[in-house]
Structure formats: C-alpha cells, structure tokens
Amino acid sequence: MSDGGDEKLSVEARLGLVAFTIDSEPHIRVNQDECRKCSLKQCLFVCPAKLYTEEEGEIKFNHEGCLECGTCRIACPKIDWNYPRGGFGAHYQYG
C-alpha cells in the first residue's frame, strides 16, 4: 500500500482505501445510443471515481468503485441511475 506522501495517488489507489461489497449486477447503466450522440462526454471527467471510460467510441461504466454520489446523473440526465441494492456498495467509516 502506498502511503501517499508527496506522490500523487492514482484514483485506483484511492478507491482501494474504500470498503465495498460489490454486487454482481451494475446499479448504473449507460445508453450507448445516447452516448454516440453526445459531444460533451462530461461523464468522463465529472465522476470522482473515474468510472466512465471511452473504449473504441463506446462509453463503459464500471460499477465497482462507485462512491454513490450522483454527480454523473446531475451532469447527464440520460444515465439510468440507481443506488446499489440495500447493503451493497460503499461502506464509509470516516464519511
């Protein structure tokens, strides 16, 4: 485990600090038809966990590591957004 210090910690390393119970099914889905029409692609930079990525023109969302803030759904109303099922997702200790 990196101790942080003066080095910039990657978002992956920071997500490693959060306790999660990961569900098999994603709680958030993107609609590729809408994504193809989108020129802003704000999901790629507003997610504090950097879970939206673009691969070969398709937007991918990785629900593992979702901090459940809802920023993406405010930034993009086309996202099919839900909280994880009860008991799943992040378990903050110092929230």
Sequence-ordered list of residues with C-beta below 8 angstroms from that of 20, at least 6 positions apart, any chain? 64, 65, 89, 90, 91
Q: Report residue 47 as tokens.
A: 């997610």
Site for another protein in 42-61 (CB under 8 A): 42, 45-50
Is the CB of residue 15 less than 8 Å from the CB of residue 90?
A: no
> Which residue, 1 or 37, is less far from another protein as judged by CB?
1
Asked if 39 interacts with another protein (CB under 8 A), we say: no
* C-alpha count within 13 angstroms, C-beta hemisphere, residue 31: 11
Which residue of 26, 62, 67, 78 would you call a contact of another protein, by CB under 8 A? 67
71 near another protein, judged by CB under 8 A:
yes
Considering beta carbons, is residue 5 or 57 the nearer one to another protein? Answer: 5
Which positions lie near another protein, rule CB under 8 A?
A: 3-6, 8-9, 11, 14-15, 17-18, 21, 40, 42, 45-50, 67-71, 73-75, 77, 82-95
